């Protein structure tokens, strides 16, 4: 049986409501093409609004990727030595942050 993305997120410890909110936010951004293209066309490296836009996407990526790496290492424990301390600290930090959101 193949799990849906929502089911995978829930099993990883991400609440269904949070998953839906992030999915809807990112999906709407991608599918409201004229808005996203207009916003991205004004992107400037040293502009704080531009950086906040990119930071939002990066934070979502890091959060979900952190839990993916955590669970991958649980499935394949022989890979744990390849995860350095800094990466593990990031994973633990995101676990903690996501727990706060779900409480």
Matching residue, tokens 């955590």: 70
Q: Are 39 and 53 in contact (CB under 8 A)?
A: yes
Structure confidence at residue 43 (pLDDT): 74
Q: Would you call 13 helix, strand, or coil by DSSP?
A: coil
Domain ranges across the chain = 5-102
Structure confidence at residue 102 (pLDDT): 64
Give Cα 81 to chain centroid, integer Å.
Answer: 23
Structure confidence at residue 84 (pLDDT): 93
Structure confidence at residue 79 (pLDDT): 94
Structure confidence at residue 15 (pLDDT): 85
Which pTM value belongs to this model?
0.73
Structure confidence at residue 3 (pLDDT): 92
Per-residue pLDDT of the chain (103 residues; tens, 9 = 90+): 899 988 998 888 888 888 899 888 888 777 776 777 777 777 777 778 778 878 888 888 899 899 999 999 999 999 999 999 999 999 999 888 888 776 5
Structure confidence at residue 25 (pLDDT): 84
């Amino acid at each position: 049986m193949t799990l849906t993305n929502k089911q995978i997120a829930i099993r990883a410890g991400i609440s269904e409501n949070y998953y839906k909110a992030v999915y809807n936010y990112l999906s709407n951004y991608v599918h409201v093409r004229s808005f996203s293209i207009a916003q991205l066309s004004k992107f400037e490296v040293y502009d704080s609004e531009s950086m906040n836009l990119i930071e939002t996407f990066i934070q979502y990526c890091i959060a979900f990727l952190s839990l993916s790496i955590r669970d991958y290492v649980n499935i394949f424990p022989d890979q744990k030595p390849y995860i350095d301390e800094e990466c593990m600290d990031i994973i633990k930090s995101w676990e903690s942050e996501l727990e706060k959101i779900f409480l």
